[in-house]
Structure 1
């Protein structure tokens, strides 16, 4: 037997969607508390503290991250609007191939090389800047969590930020004018018209986790799990019972009915039958529901029908 921790989107994403009665009953009886909204500091113990995504994914992609600082400069598509430019696509959504990066990167290399930040792309969807010794490392948002956001709200401010904003503006001009992007647009493909700077840092001294298996998640979580020497894999189509302490990243699922049918209900069935020791549902807004088999006897607690409002915390145990 084992335990399962499910990482989930913020509860507000589900709007007025309602839980099925068995799940509502179990969650109404669960222990609840508030934790840090970002679950990753709880998933991984990283020293020195931080979340140096670029270095860890670089080590997995190219094996040469040691000894340098790194920043991701991922290709993205942003759509200009009256207030700025919004991030609409990144990563696999762009459908980039090695031929795309071979066409686009040579035009960017002089710009970033002259600035002291050599750029390359060992993987078509993951582009990297090598940072010189002593470079300031800005903390910038993961593009997967910033879809729809204004690009310029996620650039560093002040004198250091001015340099990055200038580099980004010049890169956007290069990409906008590049004939390969024009060919992509003519073929009905999404052009690469900007970059997303994020994940700066150096290889950590150690990465550890209490989980024995981590399923799903973006490439960053998979890379950190690999650095911690933990079994990883893609997310299955629905709940499957496993051994040990497992983490399942379900943050990309937005349909509560799908979560309930394919994940919550079969997981709770295993919990009720004693085939699962415990489960934790951790939502992106910081609310956590901890479930144990003994909670089935809390018959006095009301079912949780919706995630829109928190239930009272002062009901009797």
Structure 2
């Protein structure tokens, strides 16, 4: 069930803890109304705004958005990742947000194609950052952790468990060995770039027949967010049109560094806040509502 959206302009931001006390947003929210806590995390935040008839099949949604051919196949995300060994195991350092060209992506994927073909799957390089596995429609998948759940942590604690997942753990290890040996990764290290030495499986499922939302439109750049908006039939604008946002729309800034929000987006947000009620939803769950007349609350200095 999607979170009912009042006639406010929604602004989705990174975790509250990332904003230090000198950030201009903190001072602004001293005059706003604190709301009950909301959704936490990337997928949680998306699920608060969009409802799919079958969970959140991120891979099928993004494949359909990028190439329009998801059909009735089962899809699984297999995004390029950087894994760093340590004393106790290995940590997932980055996934799907690595500097990587399309030519590099295709070169890295080429030796992996036969591995997946032997398992009855096809590896599709939908974009440099988004790789997908096409599986038969009736495929049964174990539970895979989203990248946000595993980033910075021991990745083996987030691999699927149980006998049904054994096949995937074997594939995961085989892919790591092949990517580790790929000559392109040696070149990347020489250029000071992190290696692409793993794939992260996540977001499995089939394309939902319907996606619903209470939003009127979306401003953002995130591929899964744009895929959901398109499936729900609402308009999308890039962040270059931020000043055109209005009540009922969602501004997605949750993927932006907080210093960039202060320097690039904050002046426009302030202007929007003078004409529209603004509800700020942080990825860590905190929420505030700022109405245009709240800027006159000179007496209020509540500590957000």
Q: Distance in 1 between matches of 2:247 and 2:220?
A: 16
Corresponding position of 1:86 = 91
Deviations along 1:262-312, one digit per CA (max 9) or x if unpaired, are 55565455444xx22x111111122211223455676765432x5xxxxxx
Q: Does 1:210 align with 2:214?
A: yes
Q: Give matches, 1:1-317, under 5 Å.
A: 3-17=8-22, 19=24, 23-27=28-32, 30-37=33-40, 38-48=44-54, 50-97=55-102, 99-143=103-147, 146-236=150-240, 240-255=243-258, 259=261, 263=265, 266-272=268-274, 275-276=275-276, 278-293=277-292, 295=294, 301-304=300-303, 306=304
1:132 to 1:86, Cα distance in 2 relative to 1, 3 A: same
| Count, aligned residues | 295
Judge conservation of contact 1:175–1:193 (CA < 8 Å) in 2: yes
Distance change (3 Å), C-alpha of 1:294 and 1:87: same
In structure 2, the gaps of 5 or more residues are: 1-6
CA contact (8 A) 1:23 1:260 kept: no
TM-score (norm 1): 0.82
Q: 1:245 to 1:172 in 2, by over 3 A?
A: same
Distance 1:152 1:235 in 2: 37
Rg larger for: 1
Distance in 2 (alpha carbons) for counterparts of 1:105 and 1:183: 16
After superposition, give the CA deviation of every residue in 1:129-167 in whole Å (9 maximum; x if it has no partner): 112343223343433564323322221111122221111
Q: Give the TM-score, by structure 2 length.
A: 0.85
CA contact 1:22–1:265 (8 Å) conserved in 2: no
User: Considering only aligned residues, what root-mean-square deviation do their CA atoms show, in Å?
Assistant: 2.7
Contact 2:23 2:262 in 1 (8 A): no
Match of 2:4 in 1: none
8 Å contact from structure 1 (residues 215, 233) kept in 2: yes
